Amino acid sequence: GESVGLHLPTLSVQEGDNSIINCAYSNSASDYFIWYKQESGKGPQFIIDIRSNMDKRQGQRVTVLLNKTVKHLSLQIAATQPGDSAVYFCAENDNQGGKLIFGQGTELSVKP
Amino acid sequence: EPEVTQTPSHQVTQMGQEVILRCVPISNHLYFYWYRQILGQKVEFLVSFYNNEISEKSEIFDDQFSVERPDGSNFTLKIRSTKLEDSAMYFCASSSILAGVGEQYFGPGTRLTVT
């Protein structure tokens, strides 16, 4: 069935290092993917998105990579900062409406 | 910067009671959503709403749930008879265009505790 999952529930990195958060999805019909950041007590905050006709998209300090062959999505954060500590969710949309299907989330901890 | 707002931030209710969760989407947005997140779990889609009607709903959104846009600014989620398992964070989201082309903006959430 449709599902979006994450490989690791937690990730701990040193401040200044690069972080890579991974996500696997199973619905080959999905054509729009989003990364959200959720800080404690807050709602999901949009980070970056990518459509299925792209392999890579860059934002400020963040890069999303999409590998449709293996149905894999990753979020790379460059020079990770303490303010990046949060839970990161990937989400997918199958272009059949606005519904987003979220993954389980990865908790990123940045050590000073 | 415009943002989605939700009230109350925390609602405590007894099992069997009705609750109404309120949201004010971003003013020029046309698509509205409710999601929920049980503590420690992923965000789950409940319902989408466009043009004053439900566009899509999940299996979670049973007959105990309803949504309404009573005026030009508010978007509400009503749970008619709450159950213990309804305890969760409820997030409202809105977007200017259908997801797949643009992002959904989430509110800060309402924590619902059913006792």
- Please tell me the total count of domains within chain B: 1
Domain assignment present for B69: yes
Percent of chain A clearing pLDDT 70 (strictly above): 93
Three-state SS string over A4-68 comes to EECCCCEEEEECCCCEEEEEEECCCCCCEEEEEEECCCCCCEEEEEEECCCCEEECCCEEEEEEC
Cross-chain CB nearest to A32 (options B35, B100, B109)? B100
Q: Work out the minimum CA distance from A2 to partner chain B, whole angstroms.
A: 13
Residues near B6 by beta carbon (within 8 Å), at least 6 away in sequence = B21, B22, B23, B24, B90, B91, B92, B107, B108, B109, B110
pLDDT interval class at A1 (50, 70, 90)? very low
pLDDT interval class at A5 (50, 70, 90)? low
pLDDT at B100: 55
pLDDT at A6: 44
Domain assignment present for B103: no
DSSP output for chain B = ----EEE-SEEEE-TT--EEEEEE--TT--EEEEEEE-TTS--EEEEEEETTEEEEE-TT--TTEEEE--SSS-EEEEESS--GGG-EEEEEEEESS-BTTBPPEE---EEEEE-
Of the candidates A13, A15, A26, A6, the one whose C-alpha atom is nearest the C-alpha of residue A74 is: A6
CATH (domain of B27): 2.60.40.10
The predicted-structure confidence for A50-100, as pLDDT tens digits, reads as follows: 999 999 999 999 999 999 999 999 999 999 999 999 999 999 987 777 889
Cross-chain CB nearest to B56 (options A95, A99, A104)? A99
The predicted-structure confidence for B48-88, as pLDDT tens digits, reads as follows: 999 899 999 999 999 999 999 988 789 999 999 999 999 99
Pick the residue from chain B with its C-alpha nearest to A40.
B108
Q: Which residues of chain B from 34 to 63 reach within 8 Å of chain A, CB to CB?
A: 35, 41-45, 48, 50, 55-56, 58
Domain assignment present for B83: yes
pLDDT at A97: 78
Domain assignment present for B115: no
Least confident of A27-41, A51-65, B27-41, B96-110: B96-110
Q: Which fold has domain A4-111?
A: Immunoglobulin-like (2.60.40)
Domain assignment present for B114: no
Of the candidates B83, B102, B61, B69, the one whose C-alpha atom is nearest the C-alpha of residue A51 is: B102
d(CA B5, CA B113): 19
d(CA A14, CA A22): 18
Domain assignment present for B42: yes
Domain assignment present for B113: no
pLDDT at A2: 43
pLDDT at B63: 95
pLDDT at B39: 87
Domain assignment present for B84: yes
Pick the residue from chain A with its C-alpha nearest to B47.
A99
pLDDT at A40: 86
Residues of A in contact with B107 (CB under 8 A): 43
Two tokens at B39? 């503590």
Domain that holds residue B26: 5-9+17-95
Mode of pairing for the β-strands spanning A56-58 and A62-67: antiparallel
Residues of B in contact with A89 (CB under 8 A): 42-43
